[in-house]
Amino acid sequence: MIVVRLASLLAVTAVLCSSPAFAITFGQTDDFQGSTDPLGWAEGAPSPNPPFVVLDGGPGGTGDSFLQANSSGFAAVPGGRQVVFNRAQWLGDYVAAGVTQVSMMVANLGSTDLYVRIGVQGGSSRFASTNAVVLTPGSGWQALSFPISDAAMTREFGADDLADALLNVTEFRVNSSQFGGWRGDVVASSMGIDDITAGSDPTPAPAIVDFAVDVSPNPVVNQALFSFRLPATADVELRVFDTRGRLVETILQSTRPAGLNSASWNPRGQSAGTYFYQLRAGTRVSRGKLIVVD
Ligand SMILES: [Ca+2]
């Protein structure tokens, strides 16, 4: 009887595992704010130098966290290649989500050139960017966009059917590969990554600039009022995240006129503690911290 129950439990588990536990959504962003959780980004385990979150020095400067990926260049040991992959929130049906491009901020933090590409795996098929973006050492944070299309990607393994692979992506990766390929080069290097965003061509990568947002009161008791001034009509999105980077609530998602704008948030149902807000207005982004008290 126990064997039967175990068997059915395993069957249920197998069914659950056959579909992604996470589904990619249009507009999702890994900004690494608010914690040292690398958000599922990893290297082949066990790596002696897995990717890690650096709390300051991202494209927004102080307080802008980012993911750093170091590679040793030693071929014979894990961690030798410059590559990070994600088997969590970047999985699922890219076609249904309308995701045809991934943009990100990338910095070359090492002393050798980076040849940045993305890769997607669906089923047994693997594809990587046909053309790399070359980043020289010390060139600062750069906004990169990688189209996900037959024109922009090359089959690296399995069936040459990108459209089919995109129906159920099982791994998404970023690597440095000078001559193309899935695995990433064996090279001593260091890459900073931030604001990895699922979008569509020709969505530009968000430019990070100062953008003043007033939050009152903060700490928040019953209600917070966000005030901000727009130089021109813009598509505005205001979201609140917890310290693990999980979306708590989308407060505002609409087109707003030039001039002074405001939006309020009632944190009812949320536990007391630290939260982060992110306001996007066109290509402008502003982030800040909220404290919710009982
Ligand atoms: Ca960040």
Coil, strand or helix: which one is 159?
Answer: coil
For 70-106, b where at least 16 C-beta lie within 10 A, e where not — what string? bbbbeeeeebbbbbbbbbebbbbbbeebebbbbbbbb
Quote the mean pLDDT of the chain: 87
The answer to whether residues 293 and 252 touch, using CB atoms and an 8 Å cutoff, is: no
67 phi and psi angles, rounded to 5 deg? -95, 130
Q: How far is the CA of 153 from the centre of ligand 1 (A)?
A: 27
CA neighbor of 128 nearest in space, from 101, 90, 156 = 156
CB atoms closer than 10 angstroms to residue 177: 23
In Å, how far are 131, 133, 186, 193, 205 from 283, measured between CA atoms?
A: 26, 22, 36, 19, 8
> How far does residue 36's CA lie from ligand 1's centre (Å)?
11
Separation of 160 CA from ligand 1 center, angstroms? 35
- pLDDT value at residue 137: 94
Under the banding of pLDDT at 50, 70 and 90, the label for residue 16 is: very low
d(CA 242, CA 250): 12
**How far apart are the CA of 66 and the centre of ligand 1, in A?**
5
pLDDT at residue 6 in the model = 43
Tell me the per-residue pLDDT of 60-87, one tens digit each, with 9 for 90 and over.
999 999 999 999 999 878 899 999 999 9
> Which amino acid makes up residue 73?
G
Local structure of 106: helix, strand or coil = strand
The residue among 86, 46, 53 whose CA lies nearest residue 68 is 53
| C-alpha span between 157 and 134 (Å, rounded) | 24
pLDDT number for residue 5: 47
Q: Put the strands of the sheet holding 247-256 in their side by side order.
A: 247-256, 234-241, 273-281, 284-292
- Domain positions in the chain are 18-199, 213-292
Distance 53 CA to ligand 1 centre (A): 9
Considering only residues 260 and 21, tell me which one the structure prediction assigns the higher pLDDT: 260
Contact between 160 and 61 (Cβ < 8 Å): no
**What is the distance in A from the centroid of ligand 1 to the CA of 68?**
11
Is the peptide bond between 206 and the residue preceding it cis, with omega within 30 degrees of 0?
no
The alpha carbon of 249 and the centre of ligand 1 are apart by a number of angstroms equal to: 19
Q: Which amino acid type is present at position 249?
A: E
Look at residue 133 in the predicted model and tell me its pLDDT. Answer: 92
Homologous superfamily (CATH) for 18-199: Galactose-binding domain-like (2.60.120.260)
What tokens were used for 291?
Answer: 């404290």
Q: What is the pLDDT of residue 197?
A: 94
Kindly report the CATH number that applies to the domain delimited by 213-292.
Answer: 2.60.40.1930
Q: How far apart are CA 105 and CA 192, in angstroms?
A: 8
- The mean pLDDT of 216-222, rounded to a whole number, is 89
Tokens describing residue 256: 């707003």
Residues 238/254, Cβ–Cβ less than 8 Å: no
Going from the Cα of 94 to the center of ligand 1, the distance in angstroms, rounded, reads 24
Question: How many angstroms does the Cα of residue 227 sit away from the middle of ligand 1?
Answer: 22
| Separation CA 217–CA 76 (nearest Å) | 56
Give the pLDDT band (50/70/90) at residue 287.
Answer: confident
